[in-house]
A and B are shown apart, each in its own frame.
Chain A
């Protein structure tokens, strides 16, 4: 059972609001990731972190930002939400070992922007 938690699970908000999607893991993993998933589409990596104070943009351009002040916490923020941000956001973590490769996923945060 993976110990990675995302809140909120579902969020419906109006355009222009600031939102933060929370992600926490209790496994002590150094690497954490945010993926964006639309129905019938690939999961796209939008942000990743290899440790505290380390954040990088992923393959898919995103207007969101992330921070990594603590190992266990990797929140994603949208300063001004728009309908184009409507999607599911998946947080994941993995160990530092290159030989395991397994990502542990949270249950996702489904965001709807009206």
Chain B
């Protein structure tokens, strides 16, 4: 069965620091990859997605993610975080059976 691993459960950064959240998945076939974000008190929403083409994907609010097939990874990055980026971030993979499998999430707290 496919699974998704997010390396850190809690990350604390100061404003303007760079962010990289790790995501690895276990599935050898063709995958679609996603990052979702849940801001405090709000619903989960799509941050960015990768289906095919350029492995460097740009999303909303200055986020980007890079698909590295050989490493089964889809890490999320942002060069300079803001206090408003405080949220929980979920990596998700859709592969076998066309169902979306989520990681456990990473809670990001940005100190102002």
Q: Could you list which residues of chain A lie within 8 angstroms of chain B, going by C-beta atoms?
A: 2, 4, 35, 40-45, 48, 58-59, 90, 92, 98-99, 101-103, 105-108
Contacts and interface: CB of A to CB of B under 8 A. Distances in A.
Contact of A101 (B32, B45, B104): B32
A75 to B, nearest CB: 18
A31 B43 CA distance: 18
B98 A98 contact: yes
A105 B4 contact: no
B32 A105 contact: no
Contacts of B101: 42, 45, 59
A98 B44 CA distance: 20
Given A40-B9, A107-B42, A107-B43, A102 B49 contact: yes
A41 B98 CA distance: 21
Given A40-B9, A45-B100, A99 B45 contact: no
A45 B43 contact: no
A67 B5 CA distance: 32
A101 B57 CA distance: 15
A44 B1 CA distance: 13
Interface residues on B, range: 20 to 34
Given A58-B99, A90-B44, A40 B104 contact: yes
B94 interface: yes
Given A42-B105, A59-B101, 7 more contacts: A4-B43, A40-B104, A40-B105, A45-B99, A102-B46, A103-B36, A107-B42
B92 to A, nearest CB: 8
A48 B43 contact: no
A103 B100 contact: yes
B13 to A, nearest CB: 19
Contacts of B9: 40
A106 B45 CA distance: 9
Nearest to B90: A43
Given A42-B102, A42-B104, A101 B51 contact: yes
